[in-house]
Amino acid sequence: MHTFIYGNYSYTYELLKQNRKSLVLTVKPDMCIVLKCPNDVESERIEKFLKRKWLWLNKQLSFFEKVQRKKYQPEYVSGESFFYLGRQYKLVAKRAKKDSVKLLRGVLQVETVQSVKDGKNNKKLLDLWFKDKYLDIFQERFIEMQKRFDYKKMPTLKVRAMPKRWGSFLNKEQIALNPKLIHTSKECIDYVIVHELCHLKYKNHDKKFWDLLEEKYPKWERVKEKLELLYGVI
């Protein structure tokens, strides 16, 4: 992470050095700033570029700040939509003699002994269902992605809620995935896993790391952008 100071303003941004000629500045929905630049770029060129982009940068940050304030909070009642493995499903709550959640064609059906309008209870049932799914699916994809590496010893996988990350390299013994990844597609889950496994060899996001990521997960940038644009950034 780097810091850009302009007048009374100070911005922290992520610098990604890549095999490219131009500089590209991006502001993500979580207001995270990313600057992509050539591998051999000089710090003076970066500074001038950011100063030229200051007004645009400030407008983008203001926009996403307003969006976050208006962020919709689901009530977990019939008619709302939820993502599961990259597909959107309509929630339907029905009274039943037994609590359960079923995935039907285009429908995520919550069957409950409580009132169908009890959003708190519906959320509890849905959260438990998602937990059962991510425990199995994350492990399945983790085992599959390990085959792309020749490490003698693999880390174990844990699931941990993280406010600002989809995944995290904890140490050589363990990596973590955000449970919210269950809402994204399998290719997004695979990308995050491969990204974290690359950290076993290269801890920092330097050129060697990005080269390894490109080797193990070609066209990773497309999947990363899809992950952030469709599902947002934690």
CA distance to 90, 91, 92, 104, per residue, from 79 (Å)? 6, 6, 6, 15
Mind listing the pLDDT tens digit for each residue in 153-176? 999 999 999 888 899 999 888 999
Nearest one of 126, 99, 125 to 111, comparing CA atoms: 99
H or E stretch at 84: strand 81-84
Mind listing the pLDDT tens digit for each residue in 119-129? 999 999 999 99
Query: For the chain, where are the alpha helices, taking DSSP H only?
Result: 43-52, 54-69, 119-146, 186-198, 207-216, 220-231
Least confident span in 62-71, 75-84, 107-116, 147-156: 62-71
What is residue 205's three-state secondary structure? coil
Mind listing the pLDDT tens digit for each residue in 16-42? 999 888 899 998 877 889 999 999 999
| 28: amino acid identity, one letter | K
Q: Is residue 222 predicted with pLDDT exceeding 90?
A: no
pLDDT bracket for residue 234 (50, 70, 90): very low
- Residue spans in the chain of domains classed CATH 3.30.2010.10: 81-231
pTM, whole model, 2 decimals? 0.70
pLDDT bracket for residue 71 (50, 70, 90): low
**Residue 30 pLDDT:** 74
Alpha-carbon span 151 to 140, nearest angstrom: 18
The CATH superfamily holding the domain 81-231 is Metalloproteases ("zincins"), catalytic domain (3.30.2010.10)
* Residue 164, both tokens: 């600002």
Mind listing the pLDDT tens digit for each residue in 96-150? 999 999 998 889 999 999 999 999 999 999 999 999 999 999 999 999 999 999 9
**What's CA 21's distance to the chain center, in Å?**
27
**Residue 49 pLDDT:** 93
The answer to whether 89 touches 101, Cβ cutoff 8 Å, is no
